[in-house]
Structure 1
Amino acid sequence: MQGFLKPYQVEQIKKKYPPDTRIQLDHMEGERDMPDGLQGVVKHVDDQGQLHMAWQNGRSLALIPNEDQFHIIQPEQKPEGNKIRVLVVEPGKAPYTQQIENDYRAMQKLVDGCIEFVPLPELSCHLYCNEEGKLIGMPGNRRLDNKDIICGSFFICAGDENGNDISLNDEQLRYYTERFREPEQYTDEEAHHVECEIKIMPSASDSIEDVMRMLGLLRDGNDGMER
Protein backbone atom coordinates (compact mmCIF):
# COMPACT_ATOMS: atom_id res chain seq x y z
CA MET A 1 0.00 0.00 0.00
CA GLN A 2 1.12 3.54 -0.71
CA GLY A 3 2.02 5.59 2.35
CA PHE A 4 1.02 9.20 2.84
CA LEU A 5 2.76 11.51 0.42
CA LYS A 6 4.21 14.82 1.40
CA PRO A 7 2.67 17.94 -0.18
CA TYR A 8 5.66 18.55 -2.44
CA GLN A 9 5.44 14.95 -3.73
CA VAL A 10 1.76 15.43 -4.58
CA GLU A 11 2.62 18.63 -6.45
CA GLN A 12 5.27 16.77 -8.45
CA ILE A 13 2.69 14.15 -9.46
CA LYS A 14 0.21 16.85 -10.49
CA LYS A 15 2.84 18.52 -12.67
CA LYS A 16 3.87 15.21 -14.25
CA TYR A 17 0.28 14.09 -14.95
CA PRO A 18 -1.82 17.14 -15.90
CA PRO A 19 -5.43 16.65 -17.06
CA ASP A 20 -5.83 14.93 -20.46
CA THR A 21 -2.50 13.10 -20.16
CA ARG A 22 -2.84 9.77 -21.98
CA ILE A 23 -1.90 6.75 -19.86
CA GLN A 24 -1.36 3.07 -20.63
CA LEU A 25 -1.82 0.60 -17.82
CA ASP A 26 1.00 -1.93 -17.46
CA HIS A 27 -0.49 -3.81 -14.50
CA MET A 28 -3.08 -3.34 -11.77
CA GLU A 29 -3.15 -6.12 -9.20
CA GLY A 30 -6.47 -7.79 -8.40
CA GLU A 31 -8.63 -6.07 -11.04
CA ARG A 32 -9.81 -8.44 -13.78
CA ASP A 33 -11.59 -5.67 -15.68
CA MET A 34 -8.36 -3.67 -15.91
CA PRO A 35 -6.18 -5.64 -18.36
CA ASP A 36 -2.58 -4.82 -19.11
CA GLY A 37 -2.36 -2.43 -22.06
CA LEU A 38 -5.63 -0.64 -21.26
CA GLN A 39 -5.52 3.05 -22.12
CA GLY A 40 -7.13 6.04 -20.48
CA VAL A 41 -6.97 9.78 -19.85
CA VAL A 42 -6.14 11.59 -16.61
CA LYS A 43 -9.08 13.65 -15.29
CA HIS A 44 -7.32 15.08 -12.24
CA VAL A 45 -4.88 14.24 -9.43
CA ASP A 46 -6.29 14.44 -5.90
CA ASP A 47 -4.54 15.62 -2.73
CA GLN A 48 -3.36 12.06 -1.98
CA GLY A 49 -1.55 11.89 -5.31
CA GLN A 50 -3.96 9.42 -6.92
CA LEU A 51 -4.70 9.79 -10.62
CA HIS A 52 -8.43 9.82 -11.33
CA MET A 53 -8.97 8.34 -14.77
CA ALA A 54 -11.40 7.90 -17.64
CA TRP A 55 -10.55 4.46 -19.05
CA GLN A 56 -11.46 3.28 -22.54
CA ASN A 57 -13.49 0.41 -21.05
CA GLY A 58 -15.74 2.87 -19.19
CA ARG A 59 -14.18 2.32 -15.76
CA SER A 60 -12.97 5.19 -13.58
CA LEU A 61 -10.62 3.45 -11.15
CA ALA A 62 -7.86 5.73 -9.88
CA LEU A 63 -4.18 4.94 -10.33
CA ILE A 64 -1.95 4.83 -7.28
CA PRO A 65 1.67 5.77 -8.02
CA ASN A 66 4.27 3.30 -6.68
CA GLU A 67 1.55 0.64 -6.45
CA ASP A 68 0.01 0.42 -9.92
CA GLN A 69 2.27 0.12 -12.95
CA PHE A 70 1.62 2.51 -15.84
CA HIS A 71 3.30 4.92 -18.22
CA ILE A 72 2.53 8.02 -20.27
CA ILE A 73 1.68 7.49 -23.94
CA GLN A 74 3.93 9.88 -25.80
CA PRO A 75 2.25 11.83 -28.62
CA GLU A 76 3.28 10.98 -32.17
CA GLN A 77 6.16 13.12 -33.36
CA LYS A 78 4.97 15.48 -36.06
CA PRO A 79 7.33 16.28 -38.92
CA GLU A 80 8.52 19.86 -39.22
CA GLY A 81 7.39 22.12 -42.03
CA ASN A 82 6.33 20.31 -45.19
CA LYS A 83 8.09 17.08 -44.28
CA ILE A 84 6.37 13.71 -44.06
CA ARG A 85 7.37 10.51 -42.30
CA VAL A 86 7.97 7.64 -44.72
CA LEU A 87 9.29 4.08 -44.61
CA VAL A 88 12.30 3.52 -46.88
CA VAL A 89 13.02 0.02 -48.20
CA GLU A 90 16.36 -0.58 -49.94
CA PRO A 91 17.54 -3.80 -51.60
CA GLY A 92 19.29 -6.11 -49.14
CA LYS A 93 18.49 -3.95 -46.10
CA ALA A 94 15.89 -3.78 -43.34
CA PRO A 95 13.32 -0.96 -43.66
CA TYR A 96 13.96 2.32 -41.85
CA THR A 97 12.04 5.51 -41.12
CA GLN A 98 12.94 8.84 -42.68
CA GLN A 99 11.44 12.30 -42.91
CA ILE A 100 11.49 13.81 -46.38
CA GLU A 101 10.24 16.96 -48.03
CA ASN A 102 6.79 16.34 -49.46
CA ASP A 103 7.71 17.29 -53.01
CA TYR A 104 8.53 15.63 -56.32
CA ARG A 105 12.29 16.30 -56.25
CA ALA A 106 12.78 14.73 -52.82
CA MET A 107 10.84 11.66 -53.94
CA GLN A 108 12.92 11.34 -57.11
CA LYS A 109 16.13 11.57 -55.11
CA LEU A 110 14.99 8.79 -52.79
CA VAL A 111 14.32 6.33 -55.63
CA ASP A 112 17.16 7.63 -57.83
CA GLY A 113 15.04 8.53 -60.84
CA CYS A 114 11.53 9.16 -62.09
CA ILE A 115 8.91 7.95 -59.64
CA GLU A 116 6.12 5.45 -60.22
CA PHE A 117 3.06 5.39 -57.97
CA VAL A 118 1.75 2.03 -56.72
CA PRO A 119 -1.41 2.10 -54.54
CA LEU A 120 -1.34 -0.14 -51.47
CA PRO A 121 -4.86 -1.10 -50.35
CA GLU A 122 -3.75 -2.10 -46.86
CA LEU A 123 -4.23 0.89 -44.51
CA SER A 124 -4.60 3.37 -47.41
CA CYS A 125 -0.92 3.81 -48.23
CA HIS A 126 1.13 4.80 -51.28
CA LEU A 127 4.29 3.15 -52.59
CA TYR A 128 6.74 5.06 -54.80
CA CYS A 129 9.53 3.38 -56.74
CA ASN A 130 11.73 4.03 -59.78
CA GLU A 131 9.53 3.57 -62.85
CA GLU A 132 12.51 2.32 -64.90
CA GLY A 133 13.98 0.11 -62.19
CA LYS A 134 13.63 -3.10 -64.20
CA LEU A 135 14.74 -1.56 -67.50
CA ILE A 136 17.98 -0.04 -66.19
CA GLY A 137 18.99 -3.11 -64.19
CA MET A 138 18.40 -2.03 -60.60
CA PRO A 139 18.66 -4.93 -58.12
CA GLY A 140 15.53 -6.79 -57.08
CA ASN A 141 14.17 -5.55 -53.78
CA ARG A 142 10.83 -6.92 -52.53
CA ARG A 143 7.94 -8.84 -54.07
CA LEU A 144 4.47 -7.32 -53.80
CA ASP A 145 1.22 -9.22 -53.24
CA ASN A 146 0.54 -9.16 -57.00
CA LYS A 147 3.83 -11.13 -57.46
CA ASP A 148 5.59 -8.19 -59.13
CA ILE A 149 9.15 -7.55 -57.94
CA ILE A 150 10.10 -3.95 -57.20
CA CYS A 151 13.62 -3.15 -58.43
CA GLY A 152 15.64 -0.49 -56.66
CA SER A 153 14.76 1.44 -53.52
CA PHE A 154 11.18 2.40 -52.76
CA PHE A 155 9.36 4.22 -49.99
CA ILE A 156 5.89 4.12 -48.48
CA CYS A 157 3.79 7.00 -47.18
CA ALA A 158 0.15 7.36 -46.23
CA GLY A 159 -2.64 8.88 -48.28
CA ASP A 160 -5.46 11.09 -47.05
CA GLU A 161 -9.08 10.98 -48.20
CA ASN A 162 -8.21 13.22 -51.16
CA GLY A 163 -5.27 11.08 -52.27
CA ASN A 164 -2.59 13.47 -50.99
CA ASP A 165 0.66 12.09 -49.57
CA ILE A 166 0.90 12.41 -45.78
CA SER A 167 2.98 10.96 -42.95
CA LEU A 168 2.61 7.34 -41.90
CA ASN A 169 0.96 6.92 -38.53
CA ASP A 170 2.32 4.44 -35.99
CA GLU A 171 -0.02 1.62 -37.06
CA GLN A 172 0.87 1.97 -40.74
CA LEU A 173 4.57 2.19 -39.93
CA ARG A 174 4.48 -0.98 -37.83
CA TYR A 175 2.49 -2.89 -40.46
CA TYR A 176 4.78 -2.18 -43.40
CA THR A 177 7.97 -2.45 -41.37
CA GLU A 178 6.92 -5.99 -40.50
CA ARG A 179 5.63 -6.68 -44.04
CA PHE A 180 9.01 -5.84 -45.63
CA ARG A 181 11.25 -6.64 -42.65
CA GLU A 182 13.30 -9.41 -44.26
CA PRO A 183 15.52 -8.58 -47.29
CA GLU A 184 14.79 -10.76 -50.32
CA GLN A 185 17.24 -12.08 -52.90
CA TYR A 186 16.43 -12.41 -56.61
CA THR A 187 18.42 -13.29 -59.70
CA ASP A 188 18.62 -10.71 -62.47
CA GLU A 189 16.38 -12.91 -64.60
CA GLU A 190 13.70 -13.01 -61.89
CA ALA A 191 13.92 -9.33 -61.01
CA HIS A 192 13.98 -7.90 -64.53
CA HIS A 193 11.41 -10.18 -66.14
CA VAL A 194 8.65 -8.15 -67.76
CA GLU A 195 5.52 -9.83 -69.00
CA CYS A 196 4.11 -8.35 -72.18
CA GLU A 197 0.67 -9.06 -73.55
CA ILE A 198 0.43 -8.65 -77.32
CA LYS A 199 -3.03 -8.29 -78.76
CA ILE A 200 -3.69 -8.78 -82.47
CA MET A 201 -6.41 -6.50 -83.70
CA PRO A 202 -7.27 -7.19 -87.37
CA SER A 203 -8.74 -4.34 -89.32
CA ALA A 204 -11.88 -4.54 -91.39
CA SER A 205 -9.81 -4.57 -94.60
CA ASP A 206 -7.79 -7.66 -93.64
CA SER A 207 -8.57 -10.81 -95.57
CA ILE A 208 -8.97 -14.23 -93.98
CA GLU A 209 -5.46 -15.09 -95.16
CA ASP A 210 -4.04 -11.96 -93.47
CA VAL A 211 -5.69 -12.85 -90.17
CA MET A 212 -4.39 -16.41 -90.41
CA ARG A 213 -0.87 -15.07 -90.94
CA MET A 214 -1.21 -12.85 -87.83
CA LEU A 215 -2.17 -15.90 -85.80
CA GLY A 216 0.74 -17.92 -87.17
CA LEU A 217 -1.56 -20.41 -88.87
CA LEU A 218 -0.51 -19.50 -92.38
CA ARG A 219 2.97 -18.92 -93.70
CA ASP A 220 4.08 -17.32 -96.92
CA GLY A 221 5.74 -19.49 -99.53
CA ASN A 222 4.97 -23.06 -100.37
CA ASP A 223 3.16 -23.83 -97.09
CA GLY A 224 -0.37 -22.94 -98.04
CA MET A 225 -3.44 -23.04 -95.88
CA GLU A 226 -5.12 -26.38 -95.76
CA ARG A 227 -8.64 -26.30 -97.09
Structure 2
Amino acid sequence: MQGFLKPYQVEQIKKKYPPGTRIQLDHMEGERDMPDGLQGVVKHVDDQGQLHMAWQNGRSLALVPNADQFHILPPEQKPEDNKIRVLVVEPGKAPYAQQIENDYRAMQKLVDGSIEFFPLPELGCHLYCNDEGKLNGLPGNRRLDNKDIICGTFFICADDGHGNDISLNDKQLSYYTERFREPERYSDEEAHHVECVIKVMPSASDSIEDVMRMLGLLQGGNDEMER
Protein backbone atom coordinates (compact mmCIF):
# COMPACT_ATOMS: atom_id res chain seq x y z
CA MET A 1 0.00 0.00 0.00
CA GLN A 2 1.02 3.58 -0.61
CA GLY A 3 1.94 5.50 2.53
CA PHE A 4 1.06 9.11 3.26
CA LEU A 5 2.39 11.41 0.56
CA LYS A 6 3.70 14.90 1.15
CA PRO A 7 2.07 17.75 -0.83
CA TYR A 8 5.03 18.14 -3.18
CA GLN A 9 4.89 14.41 -3.98
CA VAL A 10 1.20 14.68 -4.86
CA GLU A 11 2.00 17.64 -7.13
CA GLN A 12 4.65 15.59 -8.89
CA ILE A 13 2.11 12.82 -9.55
CA LYS A 14 -0.42 15.34 -10.87
CA LYS A 15 2.15 16.74 -13.28
CA LYS A 16 3.19 13.28 -14.44
CA TYR A 17 -0.39 12.06 -14.98
CA PRO A 18 -2.52 15.00 -16.19
CA PRO A 19 -6.16 14.36 -17.20
CA GLY A 20 -6.33 12.53 -20.50
CA THR A 21 -3.15 10.48 -19.93
CA ARG A 22 -3.55 7.00 -21.41
CA ILE A 23 -2.63 4.18 -19.02
CA GLN A 24 -2.14 0.44 -19.45
CA LEU A 25 -2.51 -1.72 -16.40
CA ASP A 26 0.30 -4.23 -15.84
CA HIS A 27 -1.09 -5.73 -12.64
CA MET A 28 -3.57 -4.90 -9.88
CA GLU A 29 -3.54 -7.30 -6.97
CA GLY A 30 -6.86 -8.74 -5.77
CA GLU A 31 -9.04 -7.39 -8.62
CA ARG A 32 -10.19 -10.24 -10.85
CA ASP A 33 -12.08 -8.02 -13.28
CA MET A 34 -9.05 -5.73 -13.77
CA PRO A 35 -6.92 -7.91 -16.09
CA ASP A 36 -3.35 -7.19 -17.04
CA GLY A 37 -3.24 -5.14 -20.25
CA LEU A 38 -6.49 -3.27 -19.54
CA GLN A 39 -6.36 0.31 -20.79
CA GLY A 40 -7.89 3.48 -19.42
CA VAL A 41 -7.65 7.26 -19.25
CA VAL A 42 -6.83 9.44 -16.25
CA LYS A 43 -9.78 11.62 -15.19
CA HIS A 44 -8.00 13.37 -12.32
CA VAL A 45 -5.52 12.85 -9.46
CA ASP A 46 -6.84 13.39 -5.92
CA ASP A 47 -5.03 14.92 -2.96
CA GLN A 48 -3.79 11.47 -1.86
CA GLY A 49 -2.04 10.99 -5.21
CA GLN A 50 -4.46 8.34 -6.49
CA LEU A 51 -5.30 8.27 -10.21
CA HIS A 52 -9.04 8.22 -10.81
CA MET A 53 -9.62 6.38 -14.06
CA ALA A 54 -12.08 5.68 -16.86
CA TRP A 55 -11.32 2.07 -17.82
CA GLN A 56 -12.25 0.26 -21.05
CA ASN A 57 -14.37 -2.21 -19.08
CA GLY A 58 -16.51 0.60 -17.65
CA ARG A 59 -15.02 0.62 -14.17
CA SER A 60 -13.61 3.71 -12.48
CA LEU A 61 -11.32 2.04 -9.94
CA ALA A 62 -8.46 4.35 -8.93
CA LEU A 63 -4.80 3.49 -9.42
CA VAL A 64 -2.40 3.75 -6.49
CA PRO A 65 1.17 4.59 -7.51
CA ASN A 66 3.82 2.31 -5.95
CA ALA A 67 1.10 -0.25 -5.20
CA ASP A 68 -0.45 -0.97 -8.62
CA GLN A 69 1.71 -1.66 -11.63
CA PHE A 70 1.01 0.34 -14.79
CA HIS A 71 2.65 2.44 -17.47
CA ILE A 72 1.84 5.39 -19.70
CA LEU A 73 0.76 4.81 -23.30
CA PRO A 74 1.57 7.26 -26.13
CA PRO A 75 -1.28 9.58 -27.15
CA GLU A 76 -3.72 8.18 -29.70
CA GLN A 77 -3.04 9.35 -33.23
CA LYS A 78 -5.65 11.85 -34.36
CA PRO A 79 -6.86 12.02 -37.96
CA GLU A 80 -5.23 15.41 -38.46
CA ASP A 81 -1.84 13.91 -37.58
CA ASN A 82 -1.73 12.40 -41.08
CA LYS A 83 -2.06 15.80 -42.74
CA ILE A 84 0.75 17.80 -44.31
CA ARG A 85 1.07 21.48 -45.16
CA VAL A 86 1.54 22.09 -48.88
CA LEU A 87 1.59 25.07 -51.22
CA VAL A 88 -1.18 24.94 -53.81
CA VAL A 89 -0.63 26.74 -57.12
CA GLU A 90 -3.66 27.15 -59.36
CA PRO A 91 -3.73 28.67 -62.86
CA GLY A 92 -4.34 32.41 -62.75
CA LYS A 93 -4.17 32.62 -58.94
CA ALA A 94 -1.63 33.46 -56.26
CA PRO A 95 -0.29 30.43 -54.34
CA TYR A 96 -1.78 29.52 -50.96
CA ALA A 97 -0.96 27.10 -48.13
CA GLN A 98 -3.31 24.22 -47.39
CA GLN A 99 -3.45 21.19 -45.10
CA ILE A 100 -4.15 17.99 -47.04
CA GLU A 101 -4.26 14.30 -46.20
CA ASN A 102 -0.90 12.67 -46.85
CA ASP A 103 -2.59 10.19 -49.14
CA TYR A 104 -2.39 9.71 -52.91
CA ARG A 105 -6.19 9.84 -53.25
CA ALA A 106 -6.33 13.31 -51.68
CA MET A 107 -3.43 14.37 -53.89
CA GLN A 108 -5.17 13.12 -57.03
CA LYS A 109 -8.30 15.01 -56.05
CA LEU A 110 -6.32 18.22 -55.62
CA VAL A 111 -4.79 18.06 -59.12
CA ASP A 112 -7.94 16.52 -60.68
CA GLY A 113 -6.25 13.39 -62.02
CA SER A 114 -3.33 11.02 -61.69
CA ILE A 115 -0.33 12.65 -60.05
CA GLU A 116 3.12 13.12 -61.55
CA PHE A 117 6.25 13.85 -59.51
CA PHE A 118 8.70 16.65 -60.35
CA PRO A 119 11.81 17.34 -58.22
CA LEU A 120 12.57 20.97 -57.48
CA PRO A 121 16.14 22.28 -57.30
CA GLU A 122 15.93 24.15 -53.99
CA LEU A 123 15.31 23.33 -50.32
CA GLY A 124 14.56 19.61 -50.64
CA CYS A 125 11.10 20.04 -52.16
CA HIS A 126 9.14 18.60 -55.06
CA LEU A 127 5.81 19.14 -56.75
CA TYR A 128 2.93 16.98 -57.89
CA CYS A 129 0.80 17.83 -60.89
CA ASN A 130 -1.71 16.17 -63.20
CA ASP A 131 0.33 13.84 -65.41
CA GLU A 132 -2.11 14.32 -68.32
CA GLY A 133 -2.55 18.06 -67.90
CA LYS A 134 -1.35 18.89 -71.40
CA LEU A 135 -3.23 16.02 -73.07
CA ASN A 136 -6.48 16.94 -71.28
CA GLY A 137 -6.21 20.59 -72.25
CA LEU A 138 -5.86 21.98 -68.73
CA PRO A 139 -4.89 25.69 -68.67
CA GLY A 140 -1.23 26.65 -68.56
CA ASN A 141 -0.13 27.46 -65.03
CA ARG A 142 3.57 28.15 -64.32
CA ARG A 143 6.83 27.62 -66.19
CA LEU A 144 9.52 25.59 -64.42
CA ASP A 145 13.27 26.14 -64.55
CA ASN A 146 13.57 23.49 -67.27
CA LYS A 147 11.25 25.67 -69.43
CA ASP A 148 8.39 23.16 -69.25
CA ILE A 149 4.95 24.62 -68.57
CA ILE A 150 2.84 22.87 -65.94
CA CYS A 151 -0.80 22.65 -66.99
CA GLY A 152 -3.50 22.58 -64.32
CA THR A 153 -3.19 22.86 -60.55
CA PHE A 154 -0.05 21.61 -58.83
CA PHE A 155 1.15 21.58 -55.25
CA ILE A 156 4.53 21.58 -53.52
CA CYS A 157 5.60 19.61 -50.46
CA ALA A 158 8.88 18.66 -48.80
CA ASP A 159 10.87 15.43 -48.57
CA ASP A 160 12.11 13.86 -45.33
CA GLY A 161 15.27 12.55 -46.98
CA HIS A 162 13.87 9.02 -47.21
CA GLY A 163 11.40 9.55 -50.04
CA ASN A 164 8.42 10.43 -47.83
CA ASP A 165 6.23 13.51 -48.31
CA ILE A 166 6.20 15.89 -45.34
CA SER A 167 4.95 19.40 -44.54
CA LEU A 168 6.69 22.47 -45.86
CA ASN A 169 8.50 24.42 -43.15
CA ASP A 170 8.15 28.20 -42.98
CA LYS A 171 11.29 28.83 -45.04
CA GLN A 172 10.24 26.46 -47.83
CA LEU A 173 6.70 27.82 -47.87
CA SER A 174 7.92 31.42 -48.06
CA TYR A 175 10.45 30.65 -50.81
CA TYR A 176 8.04 28.91 -53.17
CA THR A 177 5.20 31.32 -52.44
CA GLU A 178 7.48 34.06 -53.72
CA ARG A 179 8.82 31.91 -56.57
CA PHE A 180 5.32 31.31 -58.00
CA ARG A 181 3.61 34.44 -56.66
CA GLU A 182 2.68 36.00 -60.00
CA PRO A 183 0.15 34.18 -62.19
CA GLU A 184 1.42 33.47 -65.71
CA ARG A 185 -0.63 33.51 -68.89
CA TYR A 186 -0.07 31.13 -71.80
CA SER A 187 -1.93 30.43 -75.01
CA ASP A 188 -3.29 26.92 -75.43
CA GLU A 189 -0.83 26.30 -78.24
CA GLU A 190 2.11 27.32 -76.08
CA ALA A 191 0.96 25.53 -72.93
CA HIS A 192 0.04 22.24 -74.60
CA HIS A 193 3.00 21.97 -76.92
CA VAL A 194 4.95 18.75 -76.36
CA GLU A 195 8.37 18.84 -77.95
CA CYS A 196 9.66 15.46 -79.07
CA VAL A 197 13.19 15.49 -80.48
CA ILE A 198 14.83 12.28 -81.66
CA LYS A 199 18.59 12.62 -81.89
CA VAL A 200 20.37 10.28 -84.29
CA MET A 201 24.07 10.02 -83.55
CA PRO A 202 26.33 8.93 -86.43
CA SER A 203 28.42 5.83 -85.92
CA ALA A 204 32.07 5.39 -86.84
CA SER A 205 31.09 3.32 -89.89
CA ASP A 206 28.87 6.04 -91.39
CA SER A 207 30.23 7.73 -94.50
CA ILE A 208 30.32 11.49 -95.01
CA GLU A 209 27.30 11.14 -97.29
CA ASP A 210 25.37 9.24 -94.57
CA VAL A 211 26.05 11.95 -92.01
CA MET A 212 25.04 14.69 -94.42
CA ARG A 213 21.81 12.82 -95.18
CA MET A 214 21.01 12.61 -91.44
CA LEU A 215 21.47 16.36 -91.22
CA GLY A 216 19.19 16.95 -94.19
CA LEU A 217 21.97 18.25 -96.39
CA LEU A 218 21.85 15.38 -98.84
CA GLN A 219 18.79 14.16 -100.69
CA GLY A 220 18.24 11.31 -103.12
CA GLY A 221 21.11 8.95 -104.01
CA ASN A 222 24.58 8.95 -102.57
CA ASP A 223 25.98 11.17 -105.27
CA GLU A 224 23.13 13.65 -105.47
CA MET A 225 24.24 16.65 -103.47
CA GLU A 226 21.72 19.37 -102.73
CA ARG A 227 22.47 22.32 -104.96
Q: TM-score range by the shorter chain?
A: 0.5 to 0.7
Question: Residue 99 of structure 2 corresponds to which residue in structure 1?
Answer: 99
Task: Tell me by how many angstroms 1:165 deviates.
Answer: 0.6
Q: Deviations over 1:41-86 (max 9, x none)?
A: xxxxxxxxxxxxxxxxxxxxxxxxxxxxxxxxxxxxx981321111
Alpha-carbon separation, structure 2, partners of 1:106 and 1:206: 54
Question: Residue 185 of structure 1 corresponds to which residue in structure 2?
Answer: 185
Alpha-carbon separation, structure 1, partners of 2:207 and 2:222: 19
Question: Residue 70 of structure 1 corresponds to which residue in structure 2?
Answer: none
Whichever of the two has the greater Rg, that structure is 2
Q: Which residue identity lines up with residue 112 of structure 1 in the other structure?
A: D
Q: Is the Cα–Cα contact under 8 Å of residues 129 and 153 in structure 1 kept in the other structure?
A: yes
Change (3 A) 1:168 1:81: same
- Count of aligned pairs: 149
Q: Is the Cα–Cα contact under 8 Å of residues 91 and 139 in structure 1 kept in the other structure?
A: yes
Alpha-carbon separation, structure 1, partners of 2:121 and 2:205: 45
Alpha-carbon separation, structure 1, partners of 2:109 and 2:135: 18
Question: Residue 217 of structure 2 corresponds to which residue in structure 1?
Answer: 217
Alpha-carbon separation, structure 1, partners of 2:149 and 2:126: 16
Q: Which residue identity lines up with residue 172 of structure 2 in the other structure?
A: Q
Q: Deviations over 1:93-125 (max 9, x none)?
A: 121222222122221221112222111122111
Deviates more, 1:101-110 or 1:203-212: 203-212
Alpha-carbon separation, structure 1, partners of 2:222 and 2:172: 65
Give the root-mean-square deviation of aligned CA atoms.
2.7
Scaled by the length of structure 2, the TM-score of the pair is 0.56
Question: Residue 146 of structure 1 corresponds to which residue in structure 2?
Answer: 146
Q: Which residue identity lines up with residue 190 of structure 2 in the other structure?
A: E
Deviates more, 1:153-162 or 1:120-129: 120-129
Q: Percent identity?
A: 86
Task: Tell me by how many angstroms 1:206 deviates.
Answer: 7.0
Change (3 A) 1:79 1:165: farther
Stretches of structure 1 that go unaligned for 5 or more consecutive residues are: 1-77
Alpha-carbon separation, structure 1, partners of 2:120 and 2:81: 26
Q: Is the Cα–Cα contact under 8 Å of residues 79 and 85 in structure 1 kept in the other structure?
A: no
Please state if 1:134 is matched with 2:143: no
Change (3 A) 1:137 1:200: same
Task: Tell me by how many angstroms 1:128 deviates.
Answer: 0.8
Question: Residue 165 of structure 1 corresponds to which residue in structure 2?
Answer: 165
Stretches of structure 2 that go unaligned for 5 or more consecutive residues are: 1-77
Q: Which residue identity lines up with residue 109 of structure 1 in the other structure?
A: K
Scaled by the length of structure 1, the TM-score of the pair is 0.56
Alpha-carbon separation, structure 1, partners of 2:223 and 2:128: 51
Alpha-carbon separation, structure 2, partners of 1:106 and 1:96: 17
Alpha-carbon separation, structure 1, partners of 2:162 and 2:208: 51
Change (3 A) 1:114 1:206: farther
